[in-house]
Amino acid sequence: MAIIATGQDAYIAVKAEKGDGVYSLLRKQGVDPYETFDDFIALNSENLRDSIHLYEGRTYFLPSVDSTSTTKADKVVAPKLEDRLSYPLFGEGYSDVAIKSTRLKGAVYYLISGHGGPDPGAMTKYGNTYISEDEYAYDLTLRLAKELMAHSALVYVIIQDKDDGIRDERILEMDRDEVAFPDKTIPLNQTARLKQRVEIVNDLHKKHRGQFQRLIVTHVDSRSKGQNIDVFFYHHAKSKNGKKLAESIHNTFKEKYRKYQPNRTYTGTFQDRTSLYLVKKTHPAMTFIEIGNIKNDKDQKRILEPDNRQALAKWISEGVILDFESGEIGPIR
């Protein structure tokens, strides 16, 4: 590790090792990846594969630091203890949530990851191992929950697995011990499962009547192996606020692709899909997100790489903040 001064700024130069991603590299250097991801990407934009991935053995610069300091501990200032909260569901190493801002203060979010319990959702074989939709949708949902909490939102994680937490592995081990908030057994019957989730969300929605409330449902799609898809969004046809939420996140993704992958066109869409049970029956304004095709090789990189799951969570959270700060549209959903 070396300190390199350029003009008024000083940068730490570090070499990427085998298996490093942006988030893991930042964490190893004692830098908060949630705070510095965008700055890191901008600083190293010409030295990244696909505008977001590291090359093994290449040198990368960490965001600006105090040039008079030479130890990692000196360069990272932790938030005050009172600016943190603990959320054990995120798991060991992630349960501590540093509060970044009050930008979502007063907002309530319900997060549902697809399937879970007796239903793994879409499955495919990756190498010699089976992977399933519910594990990856759940990991992304936890990461999103942490991002929203860091901006002072009240967040309900509706599907929970108290053993898993946020995981940094590519292959997430399958299990069937998920429960529905607060500790309800998930039914085997599909209609009963969906009805249970609707009832939980609608009861909470009633409890928080008068507050800004939104629901975000996360799934992984399953299509033919050759079909590469971008992240896309559904909303209720008659929900102006649901459409605005979906559009806000969609626009954030378009901007991120324009900034970080300028040679690639973002083809994700947002559209009404009121026929979906959760879209039709839940009361809060909501968006239903499909993050990729679990069977497609390119989409698997987006889904399996923990750094990519974190980037997705951060981008979604930025769209959520955009939606909240722009206000509601009338009284409709």
- Provide the pLDDT for residue 64: 65
What average pLDDT does this structure show over 90-111? 94
How far does the chain reach from its first CA to its final CA, in angstroms?
53
Residue 98 reports pLDDT greater than 80: yes
| Residue-wise pLDDT tens digits, 150-160 | 999 999 999 99
Do the beta carbons of residue 111 and residue 197 sit within 8 Å?
no
Q: Is the peptide bond before 182 cis (omega within 30 degrees of 0)?
A: yes
Q: Which residues pair with 4 in a beta bridge?
A: 11
**The domains spanning 2-77 and 82-325 adopt the same CATH topology:** no
Domain 2-77 has CATH 3.30.70: no
DSSP secondary structure code for residue 211 in this structure: S
Do the beta carbons of residue 165 and residue 91 sit within 8 Å?
yes
94 Cβ contact list (under 8 Å, min separation 6): 142, 146, 165, 166
DSSP secondary structure code for residue 16 in this structure: P
Do the beta carbons of residue 305 and residue 170 sit within 8 Å?
yes
| Residue-wise pLDDT tens digits, 11-29 | 788 999 998 888 889 988 8
CA dihedral sign, ordered 49, 54, 58, 59: positive
User: In the structure encoding, which two tokens stand for residue 218, read together?
Assistant: 């996360």
Q: How many residues does the chain have?
A: 333
Q: Where are the domains of the chain?
A: 2-77, 82-325
Q: Provide the 3-class DSSP secondary structure of residue 92.
A: coil
Domain 82-325: which topology?
Aminopeptidase (3.40.630)
Q: Which residues pair with 98 in a beta bridge?
A: 84
Q: Provide the 3-class DSSP secondary structure of residue 214.
A: strand
Q: pLDDT band for 66, please (50, 70, 90 cuts).
A: very low
Q: Which helix (H) or strand (E) holds 85?
A: strand 84-86
Tell me what percent of the residues of the chain surpass a pLDDT of 90.
72
| Residue-wise pLDDT tens digits, 190-215 | 999 999 999 999 999 999 999 999 99
Tell me what percent of the residues of the chain surpass a pLDDT of 70.
90
What average pLDDT does this structure show over 70-98? 68
CA dihedral sign, ordered 46, 51, 52, 58: negative
Sequence letter at residue 37: F
pTM for the predicted model, two decimal places: 0.84
- Any idea what the Cα angle at residue 163 is, between residues 121 and 156, rounded to 5°? 70
Distance of alpha carbon 197 from alpha carbon 281, whole angstroms: 10
- Provide the pLDDT for residue 189: 97
